[in-house]
C-alpha cells in the first residue's frame, strides 16, 4: 500500500508567538537533585564505555545499538512527528509499538515531551520555550533540566492544546503506568536480556545500558542546542533554528531544523530530495507501504521555493532550487 500524501497549504508564520521576551534576566532556581542524578548517570555511562571496550561481549554491544535505534524511533517518529505535529496517522498496533519504543528512550513521558515540544514551536527561543536557545548552548542542551521552569513556560504551557493526547488511550496508558512501563522498557529489559540470553555479567549489561540511554539523550539534546545556534538558514533567516547535516546523521533526520520550524507539519522534517540520511522518514515510508502509517502530510514544492526566496538567507544549502 503506497503512502497517502496530503499537501496542506498552511502558513507556519501564524503559529509563532513573538510576544514573549527572548531571555529576560533571571536568577536560576537550581534543582540539586537533578544535578546529582545526571552526574551519577554520566559517570555510569563513562564506566559503561570502558566496559564496552574491555569486558563486554560483542552481542551485548550489538544488542544495545539496536535497542538505541528502537528508542530513537520512539522519539523521532512517535513523540515528534506523529503525536506532536500530527504529520501522519498510525494504526493502533503501530501506536502501541511507538509508545513502547518511546519508553525505551525515556525522555520523560510522551505527554510531557509533546507538551514541551509544542510549546517550543509556538514560543521558540523565548522565555516560554522550555529549552530556550537564547540562553546559550548549555541551557538549551541540558541546563534547562537542572533548573526550575521559567514562569512563562508554566504559564504558556497551560494554554497548549493537549486534548488529542489526553484522549489517546495508548498515551494515557503510558502516563498512568509511567514508572513500571518506562522502568521495564528503559532499564529492566535491556539489562536482563544480555544476562539471561548469553550470560553477560550484570555489571556489564547494567552500565552499558545506561551508556545507551545517555547517548540517546545527548543526541536529542543536540537538536535543541546545535541546530538553534550554528548553521545556515535557507528558509527563514529571522529565526534561530538552522540546518545541520551532522545532527541529521546522528538523530535519524532531525537536523534539518530551519526547514522543520518553517514547515512543522511535514512528516519528512526535511526538504524535497534530501531524505537520503533521513532514516526516520524512510521508516515512515516503509510503514505506509505496509498500511500501518497513512495520511502523510507534505509541503507543496511551490510553497517551499517561495519561502526560500522570500525569507531565506540565500544559502540554498541543499540545492533545493534545482529539485523543482
Neighbour count for residue 314 (Cβ, 10 Å): 11
Please state, in angstroms and rounded to a whole number, the distance separating the CA atoms of residues 34 and 244.
29
Q: How far apart are CA 119 and CA 264, in angstroms?
A: 13
Instruction: In whole angstroms, give the CA distance from residue 281 to residue 294.
Output: 13
pLDDT digits (tens, 9 = 90+) for 204-262: 999 999 999 999 999 999 999 999 988 899 999 999 999 998 999 999 999 999 999 99
| pLDDT surpasses 50 at 3 | no
- Domain range annotation of the chain: 5-17+27-323
Residue with cell 502509517: 293
Q: How high is the pLDDT of residue 27?
A: 82
For cell 563513562, name the residue.
46
- Cβ neighbors of 161 (< 8 A, separation 6 or more) are 118
Instruction: Dump pLDDT digits (tens) for 43-75.
Output: 999 999 999 999 999 999 999 999 999 999 999
Question: Whole-angstrom Cα distance, residue 216 to residue 35?
Answer: 18
Is 243 strand, coil or helix? strand
pTM: 0.90
For residue 226, the number of C-alpha atoms closer than 13 Å in the C-beta half-sphere is: 17
Q: Which three cell numbers stand for residue 72?
A: 530513537
Report d(CA 174, CA 159) in Å as an integer: 23
DSSP per residue over 304-319, as a string? HHHHHHHHS-S--TT-
In the structure grid, which three cell numbers stand for residue 76, read together? 523521532
- The distance of Cα 305 from the centroid of its chain, to the nearest Å, equals 26
pLDDT greater than 60 at residue 11:
no
Cα→Cα distances 322→45, 233, 274, 300, Å: 44, 17, 12, 15
Q: How confident is the model at residue 273 (pLDDT cuts 50, 70, 90)?
A: low
Rg of the chain on CA atoms, in Å:
20
**What is the model's pLDDT at position 105?**
98
Amino acid at each position: 500500500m503506497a503512502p497517502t500524501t496530503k499537501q496542506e497549504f498552511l502558513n507556519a508564520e501564524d503559529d509563532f508567538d513573538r510576544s514573549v521576551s527572548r531571555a529576560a534576566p533571571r536568577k536560576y532556581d537550581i534543582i540539586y537533585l537533578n544535578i546529582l542524578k545526571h552526574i551519577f548517570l554520566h559517570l555510569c555511562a563513562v564506566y559503561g564505555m570502558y566496559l564496552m571496550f574491555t569486558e563486554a561481549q560483542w552481542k551485548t554491544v550489538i544488542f544495545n545499538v539496536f535497542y538505541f535505534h528502537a528508542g530513537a524511533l520512539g522519539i523521532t517518529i512517535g513523540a515528534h512527528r506523529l503525536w506532536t505535529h500530527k504529520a501522519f496517522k498510525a494504526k493502533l498496533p503501530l501506536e502501541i509499538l511507538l509508545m513502547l519504543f518511546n519508553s525505551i528512550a525515556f525522555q520523560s513521558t510522551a505527554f510531557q515531551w509533546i507538551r514541551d515540544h509544542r510549546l517550543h514551536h509556538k514560543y521558540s527561543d523565548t522565555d516560554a520555550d522550555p529549552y530556550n536557545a537564547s540562553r546559550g548552548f548549555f541551557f538549551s542542551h541540558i541546563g534547562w533540566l537542572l533548573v526550575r521552569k521559567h514562569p512563562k513556560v508554566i504559564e504558556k504551557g497551560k494554554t497548549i492544546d493537549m486534548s488529542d493526547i489526553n484522549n489517546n488511550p495508548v498515551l494515557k496508558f503510558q502516563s498512568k503506568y509511567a514508572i513500571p512501563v518506562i522502568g521495564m522498557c528503559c532499564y529492566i529489559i535491556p539489562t536482563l536480556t544480555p544476562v539471561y540470553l548469553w550470560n553477560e555479567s550484570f555489571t556489564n549489561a547494567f552500565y552499558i545500558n545506561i551508556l545507551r540511554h545517555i547517548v540517546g539523550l545527548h543526541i536529542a539534546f543536540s537538536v535543541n542546542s546545535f541546530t538553534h545556534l550554528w548553521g545556515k538558514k535557507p528558509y527563514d533567516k529571522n529565526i534561530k533554528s538552522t540546518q545541520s547535516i551532522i545532527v541529521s546523521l546522528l538523530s535519524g533526520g532531525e537536523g534539518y531544523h530551519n526547514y522543520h520550524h518553517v514547515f512543522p507539519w511535514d512528516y519528512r522534517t526535511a526538504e524535497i530530495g534530501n531524505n537520503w540520511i533521513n532514516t526516520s522518514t524512510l521508516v515512515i515510508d516503509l510503514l505506509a507501504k505496509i498500511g500501518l502509517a497513512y495520511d502523510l502530510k507534505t509541503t507543496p514544492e511551490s510553497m517551499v521555493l517561495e519561502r526560500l526566496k522570500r525569507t531565506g538567507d540565500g544559502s540554498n544549502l541543499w540545492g533545493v532550487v534545482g529539485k523543482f
